[in-house]
Structures are given as structure tokens and as C-alpha cells.
Amino acid sequence: MGNISRHTGKNLGGLNQVSWIFREDVSFFTFNDLNLYCSVIPKIGGSWSSIYGTPETVQLESEQQDSPAGMKYIYKLKMLVPKDRAPVESELFRMTARPLIMKLTDKNGTIRIFGTMESPMKLTSKLMKPAAMETFNGYELLFTGEFTKPAGFLLPANGIIPDEDDQD
């Protein structure tokens, strides 16, 4: 049985970067049940795309629920993308109802993968244009997914799992 030790490094809140890839653009996906590390390799011509969210609006929630089939892990990523504009609407139209794999980097440098080949993330969005001029004008994005295992941590490119002491 392992111990959960006290963390002595930095523990900053917030997410720095949100990226996504269509499931069909992934050539290789592995997940190790023992340490929760995974690897995602895009197909030739496939790549990660980034999403800008207004700072302080990008939120990740997770919840564990017991179900008749066993534990399930529910993830919700919500963010605000500013300004009603054609390029954003076009990209959201392309993403909606398609299976997505998400990559989130937090302000500590931890990178996690949300979604798998069998259970991808899904996007819903809504345009918000309030009557008040000073209020936010743009899109609210919600990525959701339910999985049988927790979201994975991205295996470093060198394939070496870092020690807990190396992770700030």
C-alpha cells in the first residue's frame, strides 16, 4: 500500500493551456492502469489544436460516482471564449458532436488527458450576448465526459515517469 505524502513544491491553481484533437486523428493511445500515465500520438497530418479561454474562466470539475457497473469518473471543462466571430463559430461547428481527446496543462506544468478512444469528450457551446455593453460577449464552451478510470497524466516524451519530488 502506498502513502500519499505531503506536497512540498508549488501548488498553483488554474489552467494554462487547453488543446484538443479529433479522436480519428489519433494513431496511438495507451493508458497504464497502475500509474495513470498515458501516451497520445497523432496520425501523420493530425495535430493538437489550442483553444483560448478568457483567463480565470477556464474551470475543470471532476466527480466520482458509484454506479451498478462500478465507479465512474465524470469530468466537465468549462471556459469562455471572447467575441462573437465567424472563425470561432466555424471551428465550434466543426467540433460539435465529434469525439474529442482533450489535453490540459495547469499552471504547475501538469499535463492531463481527458477522453479515450473508447470514451471521448464531447462539446456543447452557447453564444452569450447580454444586453449590457460592459458584459461578456462570446461563447461558453462545455466539454464533458464519463469514464471508467480517472483522466490520465501525459507520459513525458522521454518515457520516464517523474518522481513526486520532481513535480512542482
Of the pLDDT bands very low, low, confident and very high (cuts 50, 70, 90), residue 59 is: very high
d(CA 150, CA 153): 9
CA–CA gap between residue 143 and residue 167 (Å, rounded):
27
Q: Chain-wide mean pLDDT for the chain?
A: 87
Answer yes or no: is pLDDT of 166 > 60: no
Listed range (7-21, 51-65, 70-84, 92-106) with the worst mean pLDDT: 7-21
Instruction: Categorize the per-residue pLDDT at 101 as very low, low, confident or very high, splitting at 50, 70 and 90.
Output: very high
Lowest mean pLDDT segment, chosen from 19-28, 32-41, 77-86, 156-165: 156-165
- The residue with cell 490540459 is 104
Report long-range pairs for 90-94 (Cβ below 8 Å, ≥24 apart): 92/123, 92/125, 92/139, 92/141
